[in-house]
Amino acid sequence: MSTMSTVIQVILVLFLIASAIGVSVTGNLFMAVIIFMGYSSIMAIIWLFLESPDLAITEAAVGAGVDSVLFFLTLKKVHALKGTREG
């Protein structure tokens, strides 16, 4: 493994931890779900670095796609989307 690749992987992992903390700290539910979406996308890139393309495709479609759609629909149902049409 080259040094450059290691550095990129460490940066990605640090980003994961940062977004996990960000989800806990933010007070806005909408922001929390958006940050979680970013977390899933970064996770998909990490699966590619770990040589598991199957997992990368699934995580990108499921984690960043379907999962966040379900979260957004729940936010709409519980009237937590302030500042949008549904607010």
Partner 1 sequence: MALSEKKSFWQKLKAWIDGEEILINADKYISTREKPELPHFAKHFSTENVRSNKKLYRLMSVFVSLVFIGIMLITVTHLPTFGEASNPSNNEVAERYLEQGIEETGAINFVAGMILDYRAFDTFGESNVLFLAVICVVMLLKRDSKNISAAEDQENAEDDVFDMEDLKLILKKGSKTIAPLVILYGIYVVLNGHLSPGGGFSGGSIIGAGLILYSAANGQKKMQTFFTFRTFTLISVACLLTYCGCKSYSFFTGANHVGYEIPKGVPGAILSSGFILPLNICVGLIVACTMYGFYALFTKGEI
Partner 2 sequence: MNHLATNFYEAASVILFGIGFMNLLLQNNLIKKFIGLNIMDTAVYLFLAAKGYIFGRVAPILTNGVVDADYYINPVPAGLVLTGIVVSVSVTAFSLALVQRLYKHYGTLNMDEIMKLSREEEGE
Rounded CA gap, 9 and 70, in Å?
A: 29
Residue 81 beta carbon to partner 1: minimum distance, rounded to whole angstroms? 13
- Number of other CB atoms surrounding residue 82 within 10 Å: 11
60: contact with partner 2 by CB under 8 A: no
SS3 content of the chain, % helix, strand, coil (to 5): 80, 0, 20
Q: How many residues bind partner 2 (CB under 8 A)?
A: 38
- Distance from the Cα of residue 40 to its chain's centroid: 3
Among 10, 13, 25, 53, binds partner 1 (CB under 8 A): 53
Residue 4 beta carbon to partner 1: minimum distance, rounded to whole angstroms? 16
Rounded CA gap, 66 and 58, in Å?
A: 11
- Residues in contact with partner 2 by CB under 8 A are 1, 9-10, 13, 16-17, 20-21, 23-24, 29, 32-33, 36, 39-40, 43, 46-47, 50-55, 58-59, 62-63, 66-67, 70-71, 74-75, 77-78, 80
